[in-house]
Amino acid sequence: MWGGRFASGPDAIMEEINASIGFDKRLYKQDIAGSIAHATMLGEVGILTRDDKDAIIAGLEAVRAEIDDNKFTFSRALEDIHMNVESRLRELIGEAAGRLHTARSRNDQVATDFKLYVRDCIDMLVAQIETLQRVLVSRADSEAGTVMPGFTHLQSAQPVTFGHHMLAYVEMFERDKTRFLDARKRLNQSPLGSAALAGTSFPIDREMTAKALGFDAPTANSLDAVSDRDFILETLSAASISAMHLSRFAEELVIWSSAQFSFVRLSDKFSTGSSIMPQKRNPDAAELIRAKIGRIFGAFSSLLMVMKGLPLAYSKDMQEDKEIAFDALDNFSLCLAAMTGMVSDLAVNRERMAAAAGAGFATATDLADWLVRAANVPFRDAHHITGRAVALAEEKGCGLEGLTIEDFKAIDERITSEVHKVLGVENSVKSRKSFGGTAPDNVKAQVALWHGRLGKE
C-alpha cells in the first residue's frame, strides 16, 4: 500500500513487531462502517463518481459478509485491519478501490474505528451494570429485614440489614454507570476527515460522515483528533473504578462463604471443588474477579505510559492502545457477568447472620444511645457506662442482652428494664431510620425507588 519508495519488503521481525491484524481484526465492522460513510460522503460532494461510490460500497459490504462468515483470509503482511479490508476490496472491485482512501489516512481511520468500538463497548457495559444492579435490588427486596453484622476494621460494629448492604453496591454501580456515560459524551466527536494530521485540501463534508456514524459533531482540530486517546483512557478509568467495586464485593463473598462465616452459600454453578479435600466448596469465580481486576488497573496505567511521552500527532506507539484495551474491557465484562450470576444464585443464611450480628456486643451503641435518650446522659458518659457493661458481660460470658437489670443497676442507677428493648439486633436495625440508614423500612423504600429507575428483574 505504501511500497512506492521501497526497494525491499520488511524483515520478518519487522513484520512481526509492526503488524496489528492479530488483534485489530475485531474492528472490522467499525472499519467498514467508517469506510462506507466516507465513500458515501465522497460521492455526495462529487469527489467520487456515482459508479465508483456504488462499487466501493457494494464491495465493502461483500468484504464484511466474508468476514462475518469466516471466509476471509487475514494477512499479516498487510499489517492491520484497514489494509486487509482495502486490499480485499481491490481484489473484488479493482481500481476504484484505490479511490476510497482519498482525503483520509489510517490515522483518522483508526481513531474513528476505535471510538466506534469503545462507544459500543460502553453501551454494552452500562447494560451489564444495570443487569447486575437489578439482581442486587431484587436480593435487597427479599432480604430487607435480614440482620447481619456490619463491620468496621472487619470487627463487628453495628447490626445492619443484608438488603442495605446490597443497596450499597447498587449506589456504587450507579456512579460507575454515570462515569461511563460521561466518557461516552466526550468521546462522541468524529475524527474522520482529519486525515493524517493536517486536514485535507479536498472539499469534504465532515458533518455528513459524523452524522452517518452517530457522532454528535466532527472534531474541531485535526492534530488533536488523530492524537487523542483520552476516550479510551477515560473508559479504562471508569472501568477501573467500577472494577474496584467488583473486587471489594468479590472479597466479601470470599469471606462470607468461608466455613467460619457461613453467611452465604454460593451455588454449585458458581463453586468448584477440590481434588483432594472432599469437603471443599471454593469461591473461584469471586477470587478470579478479585484477581482479574488487576489487569484492568494495569491497562489504565499501561496506556497512560504509552501516551505520556508522545509528541503530536500520530506515533506508532498508539497502535499499542488496542490490545491493552480489548483485554481489559473483555475481562471487565466477564467479571460483571460472573458477579451477576453469583449474586442471583447465592443462598443467604439468615440464622447464621442474625446470630453473628448479635455477637461482639454489636448493640453497645444502642445501649449508649438509650442512656442519652431515656436518661439524658451526655453521650461521652453513656459511652463510658456502656463500656463497663460490655466488660461485665464479657466477664460473665454473655451478651449485653444477657445482663440482668440488677447487673445494669450496679453499673448505673439510671438504667431501667426498658433498656432490654433496644438490645436485640432486630430492634437495633429497626431504629436506624435516619435517611440513608439501614432500617428495613428504609431498604423497602429504596428498593421501590430503584425498581422505578431500573425496572424489575
> Active-site positions?
153, 274
Which one, 196 or 337, has the nearer CB to ligand ARG?
Answer: 196
CB atoms within 10 A of CB 124: 13
- Shortest gap between Cβ of 48 and ligand ARG (angstroms)? 23
| Contact criterion met (CB below 8 Å) for 441 and 452 | no
Q: Does 319 bind ligand ARG (CB under 6 A)?
A: yes
Q: How far is the CB of 110 from ligand ARG (least distance, A)?
A: 4
> Binders of ligand ARG among 36-95, rule CB under 6 A?
80
**CA–CA gap between residue 443 and residue 165 (Å, rounded):** 10
Rounded CA separation 157/154 (Å):
8
Contact region with ligand ARG (CB under 6 A), list: 245-253, 254-262, 315-323, 375-383? 315-323
Size of the site for ligand ARG (CB under 6 A): 10
* Whether the Cβ atoms of residue 327 and residue 271 lie closer than 8 Å to each other: no
Tell how far CA 230 is from the center of its chain: 17
Residues 331-350 that bind ligand ARG (CB under 6 A): none
Euclidean distance between CA atoms 371 and 388, whole angstroms: 13
**Longest Cα pair distance anywhere in the chain, in angstroms?**
101
Q: Which residues are CB-contacts of 310 (< 8 A; sequence separation ≥ 6)?
A: 227, 317, 318
Nearest to 142 by CA among 452, 451, 454: 451
Provide, rounded to whole angstroms, the least separation between the CB of residue 333 and ligand ARG: 22
CB 160 within 8 A of CB 150: yes
C-alpha cell at 278: 472432599
Q: Does 307 bind ligand ARG (CB under 6 A)?
A: no
Specify the residue, 317 or 441, whose C-beta has the smaller distance to ligand ARG.
317
Q: How far is the CB of 360 from ligand ARG (least distance, A)?
A: 56
Told to check if 245 binds ligand ARG by CB under 6 A, we report no
SS3 category, 11 = coil
- Binding-site member from 318, 338, 382, 419 for ligand ARG (CB under 6 A): 318
The piece of 140-148, 296-304, 312-320, 421-429 that touches ligand ARG (CB under 6 A) is 312-320
Tell me which residues in 96-125 interact with ligand ARG (CB under 6 A).
Answer: 106-107, 110
Residue 52 or 108 with smaller CB distance to ligand ARG: 108
CA distances from 278 to 103, 268, 274, 287 (A): 67, 14, 6, 20
Copy the grid coordinates of residue 222.
485535526
Q: What's at 356, amino acid-wise?
A: A
Q: Binding pattern to ligand ARG, positions 213-242, x when CB under 6 A?
A: ------------------------------
Binding segment (CB under 6 A) for ligand ARG, from list 137-145, 170-178, 316-324, 362-370: 316-324
- Please, which residue, 37 or 137, has the CB nearer to ligand ARG? 37
- State the residues that interact with ligand ARG by CB under 6 A: 20, 24, 80, 106-107, 110, 314, 316, 318-319
